[in-house]
A and B are shown apart, each in its own frame.
Chain A
Amino acid sequence: AQSVTQPDIHITVSEGASLELRCNYSYGATPYLFWYVQSPGQGLQLLLKYFSGDTLVQGIKGFEAEFKRSQSSFNLRKPSVHWSDAAEYFCAVNPQGAQKLVFGQGTRLTINP
């Protein structure tokens, strides 16, 4: 079945440490790919997106993501996290030709001081 999977429900990292959040998708053609962040009690904000071209994309707040076609993955990274990065992160795909935005289950990020 077509889906978006975020394998990690909850991740805890120390402030200043590096971060990688995983996202895998299972669609025939490469979909449009997005990462969103949701702070507590808030709506969602776009961090970055990938459609084609350079497989390493830069986003806001120092985040980047790498698209790997061979692994059907679009992992989110940040070299050094800040306490303000504590939030829930969602990977989303818009399958080409499907006209709908589908989300993964989300990964909750906790930052230790």
Chain B
Amino acid sequence: NAGVTQTPKFRVLKTGQSMTLLCAQDMNHEYMYWYRQDPGMGLRLIHYSVGEGTTAKGEVPDGYNVSRLKKQNFLLGLESAAPSQTSVYFCASSRGQASEAFFGQGTRLTVV
């Protein structure tokens, strides 16, 4: 049982480049989340989705876009990467609002 899988695990981008992070879950969960983790700031919610075809903004959405075309996948896009987006990104999924969230192993992104 794979759970939540994030692709890629590491990436280095140049300023201005674009990329997409993929999150896939095999638990048939409705809710999916994207977070960024920075030292001393905990996990901050970027965007989230409560079902296929729906997305909503979290605490720090600027510079990111997301799509949830299929229930099992939640994509996070950076259209024009900036050094401030250097971070570790985590995807999570859950069955519902009151349910445990399951996390991927993270993607370490460096923007130079």
Residues of A near any B CB (own CB < 8 A): 6, 9, 32, 34, 36, 42-46, 49, 51, 90, 92, 94, 96, 99-106
A100 close to B45 (CB less than 8 A): yes
How many A-B residue pairs have C-beta atoms within 8 angstroms? Tell me: 60
Say yes or no: is B101 at the interface (Cβ < 8 Å to chain A).
yes
Say yes or no: is B74 at the interface (Cβ < 8 Å to chain A).
no
When distances are taken between beta carbons in the complex, the residues of chain A under 8 Å from B31 are: 99
Q: Which of A9, A49, A105 contacts B100 (CB 8 A)?
A: A49
When distances are taken between beta carbons in the complex, the residues of chain B under 8 Å from A96 are: 97
Q: What count of chain B residues pass the 8 Å CB interface test?
A: 26
Say yes or no: is B77 at the interface (Cβ < 8 Å to chain A).
no
Known: A46-B100, A49-B100. A102 touches B59 (CB 8 A): yes
| Pairs A–B under 8 Å by Cβ, sample size 29 | A9-B40, A34-B100, A34-B101, A42-B105, A43-B104, A43-B106, A44-B101, A44-B103, A45-B103, A46-B101, A49-B100, A94-B97, A94-B98, A96-B97, A99-B31, A99-B56, A100-B33, A100-B56, A100-B58, A101-B94, A101-B101, A103-B35, A103-B42, A103-B43, A103-B45, A104-B42, A105-B40, A105-B41, A106-B42
Bound state CA distance, A96 and B43, in angstroms? Answer: 20
A-B contact sample (14 more), CB < 8 A, given A34-B101, A49-B98:
A32-B97, A42-B105, A43-B90, A44-B43, A44-B103, A46-B100, A49-B100, A90-B43, A96-B97, A99-B50, A99-B97, A100-B45, A103-B43, A105-B42
